[in-house]
Amino acid sequence: MTTTNITVINLRNFYSWYDNDEFVEVSEEVAAELFADKRYNKTHERTLRRHKVLSLDVSDGTEAEAVACNSGNPEAIFEKMERCCRLCQALNSLPEIQGRRIEARYLHGKSIKEIVRAEGVSESAIKASIERGLREMRKIFSRNFQNCVAKCQ
């Protein structure tokens, strides 16, 4: 018999339509997925804000992405959006600290020294964390590619 660890979460933290606190017990796997989804959504929102993406119909900014892309090829636009989605998913699969550091370095363009100052840790710790995170992201991309190839055969 296997036992699963139970985590108590507040649904109000995950769903905007909850006006009051609503605590429920869920397995650690479910809680981890909810937290990963929340991080993904925050990353997406920051990306939209950073690029000042505005949509006329207040959706997810897909129209603005299409306009921003210089290619008139719908397939190229879709592929670009798909790559961005895979990147966000890989980034959100990392531990929070690694994801934050990689995001700061590569998406926000901060230098290692800026990250060191912001976090108050050693430069070697930041570099090692980023390298480990990038290695893990490479593994995730490789697994996803292999899965895609297997499905196409």
Specify the DSSP element, H or E, that contains 38. helix 28-50
For residues 134 and 140, what is the distance between their CA atoms, to the nearest angstrom?
10
Q: Which tokens in the block code for residue 33? A: 């997925």
Q: Which of 12, 36, 37, 35 is nearest to 23 (CA)?
A: 12
> Does pTM surpass 0.85?
no
**Confidence band (pLDDT; 50, 70, 90) for 81?**
confident
pLDDT tens digits along 123-144? 999 999 999 999 998 888 887 7
Q: Which tokens in the block code for residue 36? A: 């990963």
* Predicted confidence (pLDDT) at residue 33 exceeds the cutoff of 80: yes
Q: What is the pLDDT of residue 67?
A: 52
71: left (phi over 0), alpha (psi -120 to 50) or beta: beta
> Where do the structural domains in the chain lie, given as residue ranges?
95-153
* 95-153: CATH number: 1.10.10
**Confidence band (pLDDT; 50, 70, 90) for 49?**
low
